[in-house]
Amino acid sequence: MATITTNYRARSDAVQLRSFKAKGRPSAIAGVGVYAPEKVLTNFDLEKMMDTSDQWIRERTGIHRRHIAEPGTTTFEVATKAARSALDAAGITAKDLDMILVGTSSPDGPFPSVACRVQNELDAPGAVAWDTLAACTSFVYALSIADSFIATERADTVLVIGAEVLSRMLNYSDRGTAVIFGDGAGAAIVRAAPRGAGFLSWCLGSDGRGYAQVTCGNIEKGAYAAKDATPFIDMVGPDVFKFAVDIFIRQANEVCQTAGVALDDIDLWVPHQANFRIIDAAARRIGLPMDRVAVNIDEYGNTSSASIPLALEEAVRQGRVKTGDHVLLAGFGSGLTWGATLLKWA
């Protein structure tokens, strides 16, 4: 069986990226909603639980606190709350939905899907529903599916959710992972849009050679079957850092070039909130000042598939996004996976 070790970094730059223009009927984000658990776990709280400090965490990640779900909280519950918020923001009801897509790394079980439970709770019986799992890239992958269905007129209105309860997958004696992740959910309503608005281009990809860089459970024996499986997130931090900076830069160039938009014309970049140092390093090399970058990792930590919609909703609420703006959404995650889209805000 082929395996990957720390030498993956030397090969990551050689991965060929695939990008393409959005085709067919245009689609755009019509509303964004979020939910974060009330409980907050600060860096000072973590000092009491493991060998770490507030300064150590802030300097290495930019994280000050993260929201943590109460024991027994399900991913379905946080997803549904974000969904209701997005429906309100878009001014529609669940009866208007043709499709519900949930991106998550922390489903409540192998099946049924989180999306089907959200569909039931929202009372949207006419909507087809399923989950997509691409770790932290899940939300962008799900957005691309929504865009494709609307482009081919197989759907008019799609609810896309990124939702996570990662705290139940953390080893709170491992400061390399436990200090990073938080719980939460974000959702977007995607609808048909006028020509020239909405999603302009996409860059989606995967490189399974790096599958061992970020894992959860005993993937070699089967996380659900192995009695000795450890159901905790594990990560090769330095390798992931290098990969993340590289892929952020390359996919930003790809989607802009494909859409015929200059990097300087990006009004707002909404990156996956993995680590502030990753975001800062990539922004510097892309040439974007931080006032054109959405960052809220200090408040939420890394919420995996929920991080992009959480950051996007905050930017919209703060008035940082206006009609006609070029907005870049970009993520990467375990797999390894990556995905980015450039859109003209409608």
Cite the active site residues: 136, 272, 302
How many residues are listed for the chain in this entry? Answer: 346
Number of CB atoms found within 10 A of residue 238's CB? 10
Q: How far apart are CA 110 and CA 114, in angstroms?
A: 10
Residue linked to tokens 């990640």: 61
Torsion of CA 249, 329, 204, 34, to 10 degrees: 140
Strands 19-21 and 27-35: unpaired
25, 151 Cβ separation under 8 angstroms: yes
**Residue-wise over 118-129: b if at least 16 C-beta within 10 A, else e?**
bbebbebeebbb
262, 256 Cβ separation under 8 angstroms: yes
Number of CB atoms found within 10 A of residue 286's CB? 22
